Amino acid sequence: MNSSDLSSPSRILELFSPAAEGSKEPKTLSQLVRLIRGFGVPADGVFINTYFRQEGIIRFFARATADEEITAPLDRPLSKKSRSYLDDHTRAQTLIVDRIEDDPVTEAAAGTVIPGIRSFIMQKLTYDGHHIGVIGFWSKKNSAFTKNNARLIASLVKPLSEWASKKYLQSLKEENDLLRSQLQNRNHSALTKILETSPGLRSVGEQILKVAGTDVTVLISGESGVGKEVIAKTIVSMSNRQGSPFVVVNCGAIPSSLIESELFGYEKGAFTGASARRAGFFEQANGGTLFLDEIGELPLFAQVKLLRALQQKSFHRIGGEHPLKVNVRIIAATNRDLSAEVSEGRFREDLFYRLNVFPITVPPLRERPADILSLATLFTRRFAAKYGYDGVPLIEKHAKNEALQYAWPGNVRELENASERAVLLDGLTIHHLIPEINRVHNSTDIGEEDKALNSRKTSSGESLMEENQTIQKYFQSINFQDLEKAYFSALLEKTAGRISGPRGAANLAGLNANTFRSKLLKLGLL
């Protein structure tokens, strides 16, 4: 083979095509090594493997030199450091490594499997749009491979993937195909419902699809109120554990003195008051899923006990003599940055890595503006039906604008509560989704003219905004109807009855004058 063949990969593609006349498709990995060397790639050998994240292993399905082939699968466990490296680094489709020491994962996994490996080209294998593993051509010399070699191998992704899948990865492919089929045929109503009302969670939905059919531990992170439990329930509804126990534990609500007994249970007579055996949350969740909500609130001593149970997949009831083994999938959730908590010494590093196998981050509502109105429509319709209204609520344009400008610190939970309050106050024509107090504090809802007005000082030395804040704090202690009436009265008193204009009460309340008058009529103030 001459060097010109390197710039024309179609020649080698022909050899992989069974339809090609005179096809010389390789039958073994050893033949593949000899074939690829004939095209100028200085490979001493080849390997095919894949990474099983849940188990923390790299499986070598087959490996060969030009003269020898080993097809018996071999698993190599990865260290915590190597697993973290794979989780934190996006590997290129085609990777050239001049010195094996430069790639800690391959050094750890292949160093003992392939004696003499010094440099390699690694190419991701894909089949039917899915990543199924990698193929690596290696050399006993440092810096053996060139970009021309890499381009040639990259051009062979499809035929190499099909060939490798057929010869070495068939069982894995069949397993993946079965999983995808199960996921496609399973009732996805929960996920569909989420995505229909929250298009901003599409990336989260894609992650759910990837992890739902496995038993991988999931860590869901996000601010309070973003719907972490909804995500957990959706994962369970699409898993093989659907219909099995789903036990929810609020780790922040359990007193420290009861954590161990609540998690693991106790035997009769284990302590004063233990009049009967009690199964803990782990035991209750056997065969199903244990959802550890607000996991970051667990004290350190409880983290130790939880870690031991997760590592050993067994535990002792308090007062029990024999360990109990359970089959439980763990889904945890937190509103804290656990990596920062680890750095501050408030959360165990080993427990964090044990939980953070498949992280899912749910973005706050303010970062998903497309979801705000969709969810508001859903919630207002739901509450209108709940309270007996015959019709579909209409959210007015200015109410939509207010909602889009508001930060929603309480996220979806706050929006749901605000929607219920809006239906109770306004019926089927929603004038406002956010309460008056929050609208005054909502800086994005205040125009330049309002800011100028609020910055002017009164004779007492306080700004109008400062006075408003004082009034608002006082009225927070009474019921909403009284608060609303008193607030509007105070605004009218402050502006000497003026409603419209830059110094009018409507302007201070962030309302147009007509809406303000309508509210006054409803409250009996006009």
Q: Are residues 202 and 308 in the same domain?
A: yes
* Domain that residue 61 falls in: 3-176
- At 406-436, the pLDDT tens digits run 888 888 888 999 999 888 888 888 888 887 6
Q: Are residues 394 and 513 in the same domain?
A: yes
Answer whether residue 110 is part of any domain. Answer: yes
Q: Are residues 381 and 265 in the same domain?
A: no
* CATH value at residue 227: 3.40.50.300
Contact (Cβ atoms closer than 8 angstroms) between residue 422 and residue 433: yes
pLDDT along the chain (526 residues), means of 10: 44 50 62 86 91 75 87 78 70 86 85 87 77 87 92 81 72 53 52 72 84 89 89 87 87 86 86 82 89 91 90 86 87 92 91 92 88 88 86 88 88 90 86 69 44 40 49 47 70 80 76 77 77
Boundary of a domain, candidates 143, 176, 209:
176
Q: Are residues 114 and 195 in the same domain?
A: no
Answer whether residue 220 is part of any domain. Answer: yes
- Residue 456: predicted pLDDT: 39
Q: Are residues 319 and 437 in the same domain?
A: no
Q: Residues 230, 234, 236, 242: is their CA dihedral positive or negative?
A: positive
266 SS3 class:
strand
Answer whether residue 76 is part of any domain. Answer: yes
Answer whether residue 352 is part of any domain. Answer: yes
Answer whether residue 182 is part of any domain. Answer: no
Q: Are residues 201 and 149 in the same domain?
A: no
Answer whether residue 339 is part of any domain. Answer: yes
Q: Are residues 463 and 416 in the same domain?
A: yes
Q: Are residues 13 and 159 in the same domain?
A: yes
Q: Are residues 370 and 356 in the same domain?
A: no
State the helix-helix crossing angle for 464-475 and 480-494, rounded to 10 degrees.
160
Answer whether residue 47 is part of any domain. Answer: yes
- At 441-478, the pLDDT tens digits run 554 443 443 443 344 334 444 444 455 555 444 444 44
- Residue 515: predicted pLDDT: 77
- Output the six-digit token pair for 316: 């002792």
Phi, psi of 98 (to 5 degrees): -80, -30
pTM strictly above 0.75: no
| Cα angle 93, 98, 104; round to 5 | 75
Answer whether residue 268 is part of any domain. Answer: yes
How would DSSP label each residue in 429-489? Answer: EE--SS-HHHHHH-GGG--HHHHHHHHSB-TTS-BHHHHHHHHHHHHTTS-HHHHHHHHHH
For residue 297, what are the CA distances in angstroms to 58, 208, 263, 333, 337?
Answer: 34, 25, 14, 10, 12
Which letter, b or e, does each residue of 81-107 get, where b requires 16 or more Cβ atoms within 10 Å of its Cβ? ebbebbeeeeeeebbbbbebeebbbbb
Phi, psi of 27 (to 5 degrees): -100, -20
Structurally, the chain folds into a number of domains equal to 3
- Residue 325: predicted pLDDT: 86
| Alpha carbon 195 to its chain's center | 14
Q: Classify strands 289-293 and 246-250 as parallel, antiparallel or unpaired.
A: parallel
* CATH value at residue 447: 1.10.8.60
Boundary of a domain, candidates 361, 385, 402:
361
Boundary of a domain, candidates 313, 337, 361:
361
Q: Are residues 353 and 382 in the same domain?
A: no
Q: Are residues 336 and 354 in the same domain?
A: yes
* CATH value at residue 10: 3.30.450.40
- Residue 90: predicted pLDDT: 64
Q: Are residues 112 and 152 in the same domain?
A: yes
